């Protein structure tokens, strides 16, 4: 393959990746006062599960947990209406728990000093097309303690619908 053909293939792959990142299921997240704090886009992850690409703002600096919760309700300020973690298989909490994880479990992410966070996390056991809530917690998830990883209060929430 010559250099021109390689360049065209590369441009096509980048274009497909960009379109995939812009398409996906959108989720608007709000804080406990109902103010928008950003968006997430859900799409099938390459190796299974759900990819969550997020662009967040006005959150406290530091590491935070993010989970899918079982009920597609986000009534502030505490978001308890979202219920527990999405866990249709009755597993224990945590990506590092030998009896887990919940389908809604994901790795932590970092909010920068300016209150923004942009990146992608994967829920390796989640499925697309599920009604749920996407919840950001005040603290980090220890990835093993049942039922919630000691992640703390719920500080942002977005409704995921089919």
Q: Which residue has the higher pLDDT, 4 or 157?
A: 157
Domain with residue 73: its CATH number is 2.60.40.200
- Is the pLDDT reported for residue 4 higher than 60? no
Instruction: Say if 91 falls within a structural domain.
Output: yes
Mean pLDDT for all residues in the chain? 88
Domain extent, residue 111, equals 25-160
Distance CA 74, CA 70 (A): 11
Instruction: Say if 34 falls within a structural domain.
Output: yes
Residues 65-117: tens digit of each pLDDT? 999 999 999 999 999 999 999 999 999 999 999 998 999 999 999 999 999 99
Q: In this structure, how many other beta carbons lie within 10 angstroms of the beta carbon of residue 112?
A: 12
- Is the pLDDT reported for residue 8 higher than 80? no
The closest of 107, 91, 109 to 99, measured between CA atoms, is 91
Instruction: Give every CB contact of residue 146 below 8 A, 6+ residues apart in sequence.
Output: 92, 93, 94, 97, 100
154 burial via Cβ count (<10 Å: 0-12, 13-18, 19+): buried
Instruction: Say if 153 falls within a structural domain.
Output: yes
Structural domains counted in the chain: 1
Instruction: Say if 15 falls within a structural domain.
Output: no
Q: What pTM was estimated for this model as a whole?
A: 0.84
């Amino acid at each position: 393959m010559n250099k021109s053909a390689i360049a065209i293939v590369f441009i096509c792959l980048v274009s497909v990746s960009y379109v995939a990142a812009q398409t996906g299921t959108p989720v608007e997240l709000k804080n406990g006062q109902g103010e928008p704090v950003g968006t997430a886009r859900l799409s099938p992850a390459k190796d299974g599960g759900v990819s969550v690409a997020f662009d967040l703002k006005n959150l406290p600096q530091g590491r935070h947990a993010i989970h899918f919760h079982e009920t597609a309700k986000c009534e502030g300020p505490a978001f308890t209406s979202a219920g527990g973690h999405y866990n249709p298989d009755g597993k224990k909490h945590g990506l590092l728990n030998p009896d887990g994880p919940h389908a809604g479990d994901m790795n932590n992410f970092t909010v920068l000093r300016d209150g923004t966070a942009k990146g992608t996390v994967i829920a390796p056991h989640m499925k697309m097309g599920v009604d749920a809530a996407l919840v950001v917690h005040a603290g980090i998830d220890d990835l093993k303690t049942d039922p919630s990883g000691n992640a703390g209060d719920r500080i942002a929430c977005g409704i995921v619908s089919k």
